[in-house]
Amino acid sequence: MSSVPPSVLRAGPAETGPPLILPPDPGPFAQFVRSQSFAGLLLFASAVLAFILANSPLAGGYEALRHLHLSVLVGDRGLDLSLEHWVNDGLMAVFFLLVGLEIKRELLIGELAQPRRAALAVAGALGGMVVPALLYAALNLGGPGLHGWGVPMATDIAFSLGILALLGSRVPVGLKIFLTALAIVDDLGAVAVIALFYTDTIQLPALLAAALVWGALLAMGRLGVRRLGMYAALGGLLWLFVLQSGLHATIAGVLLALAVPLRRAAPLAVSLPGGLVADADNERLGVHLQRAEAALERAQSPLHRLEHLLHPYVTYAILPLFAFVNAGVAVGGTTLGTVTLGVVAGLVLGKPLGVLGGAWLAVRAGLAALPSGVNWSLLVGAGMLAGIGFTVSLFVANLAFADAALLAGAKLGVLIGTLCSAALGVAWLLLQTRRSAT
C-alpha cells in the first residue's frame, strides 16, 4: 500500500471528487500565540499594565477611562453605563457563555462524562471552594469584610492552564486534564455562588420575561435550530431582561449556553485513499475547499461552532480588557487588612488543602481514582495552581464590595494570592518532576 501525503484529504466518499490540499501546519510562533501559555501571559500583561498605571502619575487618566460613560440608545430609551460596567456586566456575559458551553460539552461528551474522572474533579473543586471560603470567613468573622467570602473560591482557567502549559511535557497529560476539569467545575460553582449570594433585589416582571425568553431558547435547542444568529438575537434579549431583573447579567451567558444544542446535523465522511497527488488547478481546488468547508460546517454542532467562534474573542480581547479595567489597584493608602489576608490565605493555603482533601476523600471512598501518571505529590502542585483565582475572583470582589477600601483590599489580595500560587505551583511541580526523572 502506498503512503498518503499528510497534506492530502478527500472529503466525502472515496470514489467522488478530486483530492484536497490542506493548509500547512502553523509555525512555532503561530502555535504559541494560539496556546494557553500565550493566553495566560496576555492576561498577566494586561493586569500588570493596569497596576502600573494605577500607581503612576497617569492614575487620574486611568480612572477617568474606567469610568467613561458609553450609551446605547434606541429612541429615548437605552443603557448608559461606564466602561467598567460594560465590561463587567456585558462582555463578561460572553465569557460566561463560553464557560457554559465548555461545561455543557464536558458534562455530555468530555472528561466530566466519565464518572470516576468527574468524581475526582468535582470532589477536588468542592473542597477547593469550601476550604478557602471558610479560611476567609474565619479571618473576617464579625467584620465588614465578611461578605467577600466568595472571592478566594475561584480558579482562573486561562491563567492556571497557561502556567501549567509552560511546564510542557514535564507534567503528565493526566494532571492537565484534572486541572482543566477542576477549573470547569469550579466555574460552575462560581456561577451558582454569584446567582445565590451576590444578587440584588429581584424584579419579578423582568425575571418572568427572562424565563419566557430562556424557554424559547430551550425549545429552539430541542427542535434542533442551528442558526447561531437566532440564538444571538434571543440571547441579547435574555441578557437585557436578566440585567433588569436584579440577577447579575452574566448569568444570562450560562443560561444561553445550556440552550445551544450539541447534536450534529450531518456526519462528515473523510477518507484517506492511497496514491493521491495534490491538485494543481487553483480554481478547481478552491471549489473543492469550499465544499469541504461546507461539509465541516454541517458536521459541527451549533455548540461547537459557537465555542470556536467565541474563543479567540474571549481569550484575546474580553479577558485582557477585563484584567486591564479591574486590576488597577492603587496600593497607596491600601493596608493589608483582614480582607486582603483572608483572600491570600484562601487562595494560597485553602485551595491546595481543599483540592487535595476533596480528592483524597473521593479516592478513599472508592468513587474516583488518580489519573494515569499522576501521584499525590503532583496533585499538590495542581492544587497550588488552582489558587490562581484571577478573573473570577476579581469579578466576585466587584460584586461583594461597594466600599472602595474593602474592594481595593480584596483586589490586592487576589493579585498577591494569584502570584504566590503561580510561583509556588511551578516551583513545586518542577521539583517533583525533577525528582521523578532522577
Residue 116 falls inside a structural domain? yes
Rounded Cα–Cα distance for residues 152 and 344 (Å): 8
Is residue 295 scored above 90 in pLDDT?
Answer: no
Is residue 89 classed exposed, middle or buried when 0-12, 13-18 and 19+ CB atoms within 10 A define those classes?
Answer: buried
Residue 34 falls inside a structural domain? no
pLDDT value, residue 2: 40
Rounded Cα–Cα distance for residues 36 and 33 (Å): 8
Count CB neighbours of 111 within 10 A: 19
Cell representation of residue 107? 458534562
Residue 71 falls inside a structural domain? no
Rounded Cα–Cα distance for residues 67 and 72 (Å): 16
Range of 163-177, 210-224, 325-339 with top mean pLDDT: 210-224
Return the sign of the alpha-carbon dihedral for residues 370, 373, 375, 377. negative
Residue 412 falls inside a structural domain? yes
Rounded Cα–Cα distance for residues 364 and 380 (Å): 16
pLDDT value, residue 37: 64
- Residue 365 domain boundaries: 86-199+248-263+285-437
Residue 370 falls inside a structural domain? yes
The whole-number average pLDDT for the span 408-424 is: 92
Is residue 196 classed exposed, middle or buried when 0-12, 13-18 and 19+ CB atoms within 10 A define those classes?
Answer: exposed
State residue 145 phi and psi, 5-degree precision.
Answer: -90, 5
Residue 319 falls inside a structural domain? yes
The whole-number average pLDDT for the span 129-142 is: 96
How many residues are there in the chain? 438
- Give the chain's domain count: 1
Is residue 180 scored above 70 in pLDDT?
Answer: yes
Cβ atoms 151, 409 nearer than 8 A: no
Q: What mean pLDDT is reported for the chain?
A: 80
Cβ atoms 409, 163 nearer than 8 A: no
Range of 94-98, 100-104, 433-437 with top mean pLDDT: 94-98
Residue 70 falls inside a structural domain? no
- Bridge-partner residues for 79, per DSSP? 72
Q: 92 pLDDT band (50/70/90 cuts)?
A: confident
Count CB neighbours of 430 within 10 A: 14
pLDDT value, residue 361: 96
Cell representation of residue 436? 521523578
Is residue 230 scored above 80 in pLDDT?
Answer: yes
Residue whose C-alpha is closest to residue 324's, from 17, 63, 143, 75: 63
Is residue 56 scored above 80 in pLDDT?
Answer: yes
Rounded Cα–Cα distance for residues 98 and 103 (Å): 9
CATH number at 305 reads 1.20.1530.10
Residue whose C-alpha is closest to residue 346's, from 155, 177, 158: 155
Residue 204 falls inside a structural domain? no
State residue 329 phi and psi, 5-degree precision.
Answer: -100, 120
Residue whose C-alpha is closest to residue 128's, from 434, 298, 357, 425: 357
pLDDT tens for 383-415 read 999 999 888 898 899 889 989 889 989 999 999
More confidently predicted of 171 and 127 = 127
pLDDT value, residue 307: 82
The whole-number average pLDDT for the span 242-248 is: 81
Rounded Cα–Cα distance for residues 280 and 293 (Å): 19
More confidently predicted of 156 and 10 = 156
